[in-house]
Structure 1
């Protein structure tokens, strides 16, 4: 799909990549596999130096491919569909496989959590398929050091670069006082998000509200009507997709990421940290984030531990302020524009 930063963190990352490539002098054409892009999409990407191509990809590649210096294939389904025609019609292009996350890791964890043998068999097939794609492309982009380490073991001859989420640090709108409530960001189109919210609403929020009955959970992201009805209740405010989430980050006390499976780096965590909002999250959500429990986040994997962490942050101004400061420093050190720019230059230098 055409990236829309108000929809998902993958879009935020890709648009930041576009801006960095444009600043480095690349001329960028974008093709959406679903063929759907609006005039608003064209304006938004045009501001980043990107031209949306609306004709059929194969037709366009036949005409333009020989002049291309690099082709980035985003996510495995797209790479699988286009790798052969790109190699045929863009023979001089460096082919970059942007995994966004290693899909087989996410699928394997979901299978383990659900205890589903059929899902596990699919994850095993997906692993073979995804690693084969890494081998077929000139460069592979991953979003976390954990996933880079996986590929060093599984595909040691592959050229792998780490291009994680890219965030600016924002001065907090206010400190501990004057804030209230919890925030979860993520659309239900991504299964780990829906599973995490349902787990939180069923197992964690009631325990928090037993001690702090005025606590409200704010949910931001695309949630279908059926799912909305299944989670609506006292202490839950569903905002849907927001064009600007900054005001909420200036209002809430804590961001939560109760993910029980998934892969990659979680944009919802980066984003909250970039605004200085302390995060309570699971180990799965913390993966690849360079986090230490009690230093720049609170990490909890059981409902009891999650409830205790939220209540602890809610009543300890000193802890809240310390984690807020450490969160922003974490983003500066690991998810900055400069780090991403250097990695993209290494990934594409041979193709320019």
Structure 2
């Protein structure tokens, strides 16, 4: 239902960590989905970023979006945002709120401040450190159930003492609304970090477009692994595949082929290319859905990470079952069956992959489960309407919302003072150079 206030003119400023490349990462894909939601409302959008433009950057101008290049630690942003006077400011990841939030607070105090969290970065970082610790103890370890299923209390203990978690959670409090892609993370934040529920909003990847039809079991061949190589969990998964998992799969399927696609493929990944072993490094996929639709099984052996997994969503869209870990499946299926298989040790992953690849009935069951999940958990219509309604409600009742968030007001006050002094010091130093 359309909100009564939706007819009013709304100007959104998005401050991007990067210029979005929706075909390169799920994070950029989610930003583009948010942009679609705003455009559907007829809202005016300005997208600003201090990042350099990548070769696969989305054509924002073609969508009627104003693009602005900004700089870090530069007072010219003050003039820009003061002139713009947006109604809503969306920070793409908490680092952007750290850099620009106090300037928005100073010049646009009545703008609704929304943080697109992408994933809980301190959770991903902590899990990575826990993995490194286990591998340091035993580099040949193949069972990671202890890590993947660590109690929340243990994870909180390790996270809470990190600088990253303290910075990230401070940013959450300073924002009026935090878009969290994982409902598991929302529960974790409210239960362990005691973040007030009114500051959080579940906004996962929102699926609208799907192929007209999906290929059947007999029309497909090979395994697939896909993911941006700049995302550390993806590189770790490929490394584990190469040295442990794929040899176990090839023992049972000697002619099996694995095609690995990923944007920004580094030399260390290219060096793993070995056609004789059926291990193919394919670089970036021009059409991810096309290559996903031709594969019979998607492998996503993630040993650390957070948020939800774009590769698993894409696999469901293409009707391709996925084999992953508890980390990869986290927040992906709720109480519904996972569209594939979950295992937490090397042998279990390999055996599950072989079963799905060879058992047509099991494969078709997983494909149907994926279709049900997309409809019940990731439908664009539901989440888009919920997001717009939440933002409009904040615009109508922003002062009382902020009054209830005293911790956020206190953190914004201290951020404004400290960063203002730092900015003045940097400018003075630059003038004296």
Q: TM-score, normalised by structure 1?
A: 0.92
Query: 1:351: Cα distance to partner?
Result: 3.2
Report the secondary structure of 2:282's partner residue: strand
Q: Which among 268, 277, 280 is matched to residue 226 of structure 1?
A: 268
8 Å CA contact 1:8–1:187 kept in 2: the answer is yes
Query: 1:292: Cα distance to partner?
Result: 6.6
8 Å CA contact 1:142–1:148 kept in 2: the answer is yes
Query: 1:297: Cα distance to partner?
Result: 2.1
Corresponding residue of 2:199: 159
Q: Which among 318, 324, 346 is matched to residue 303 of structure 1?
A: 346
Structure 1 residues 43-93: Cα deviation after superposition (integer angstroms, max 9, x where no partner):
x21343422113547535424436210101111221211111111122221
Distance in structure 1 (CA, Å) of the matches to 2:395 and 2:55: 31
8 Å CA contact 2:340–2:363 kept in 1: the answer is no
| Structure 2 gap segments, 5+ residues each | 1-17, 137-157, 397-433
Query: 1:157: Cα distance to partner?
Result: 5.4
Corresponding residue of 1:216: 257
8 Å CA contact 1:141–1:163 kept in 2: the answer is yes
Is 1:27 the counterpart of 2:54 in the alignment? no
| Of 257-266 and 72-81, the range deviating more from structure 2 | 72-81
Query: 1:287: Cα distance to partner?
Result: 0.4
Corresponding residue of 1:102: 120
| Of 283-292 and 12-21, the range deviating more from structure 2 | 283-292
Corresponding residue of 2:99: 81
Distance in structure 2 (CA, Å) of the matches to 1:72 and 1:97: 6
| Of 163-172 and 99-108, the range deviating more from structure 2 | 163-172
Corresponding residue of 2:66: 51
8 Å CA contact 1:276–1:328 kept in 2: the answer is yes
Corresponding residue of 1:37: 53
8 Å CA contact 1:217–1:237 kept in 2: the answer is yes
User: For the aligned residues, what is the CA RMSD?
Assistant: 2.3
Query: 1:207: Cα distance to partner?
Result: 1.2
Q: Which among 192, 203, 206 is matched to residue 233 of structure 2?
A: 192
| Of 48-57 and 73-82, the range deviating more from structure 2 | 48-57
Distance in structure 2 (CA, Å) of the matches to 1:46 and 1:39: 15
Q: Which among 365, 384, 387 is matched to residue 344 of structure 1?
A: 387
8 Å CA contact 2:112–2:395 kept in 1: the answer is yes
Going from structure 1 to structure 2, the CA distance change for 1:255 and 1:39 (only over 3 Å counts) comes to: closer
8 Å CA contact 2:160–2:166 kept in 1: the answer is no
8 Å CA contact 2:269–2:281 kept in 1: the answer is no
Corresponding residue of 1:129: 167
Going from structure 1 to structure 2, the CA distance change for 1:10 and 1:157 (only over 3 Å counts) comes to: closer
Distance in structure 2 (CA, Å) of the matches to 1:107 and 1:148: 17
Is 1:90 the counterpart of 2:108 in the alignment? yes
Corresponding residue of 2:288: 245
8 Å CA contact 1:169–1:332 kept in 2: the answer is no
| Of 132-141 and 234-243, the range deviating more from structure 2 | 234-243
Going from structure 1 to structure 2, the CA distance change for 1:27 and 1:99 (only over 3 Å counts) comes to: same
Query: 1:296: Cα distance to partner?
Result: 2.3
Is 1:317 the counterpart of 2:357 in the alignment? no
Q: TM-score, normalised by structure 2?
A: 0.75
Structure 1 residues 261-280: Cα deviation after superposition (integer angstroms, max 9, x where no partner):
00000001111111110011
Distance in structure 2 (CA, Å) of the matches to 1:48 and 1:281: 36
Structure 1 residues 241-262: Cα deviation after superposition (integer angstroms, max 9, x where no partner):
1221222122110011100000
| Of 289-298 and 20-29, the range deviating more from structure 2 | 289-298
Structure 1 residues 148-206: Cα deviation after superposition (integer angstroms, max 9, x where no partner):
11222221255211111122333443200021111111122111111111111111111
Structure 1 residues 276-306: Cα deviation after superposition (integer angstroms, max 9, x where no partner):
1001110000001016796522101111101
Report the secondary structure of 1:146's partner residue: helix
* Bigger radius of gyration: 2
Going from structure 1 to structure 2, the CA distance change for 1:315 and 1:11 (only over 3 Å counts) comes to: same
Going from structure 1 to structure 2, the CA distance change for 1:165 and 1:62 (only over 3 Å counts) comes to: same
The size of the alignment, in residue pairs, is 348
| Structure 1 gap segments, 5+ residues each | none
Is 1:67 the counterpart of 2:85 in the alignment? yes
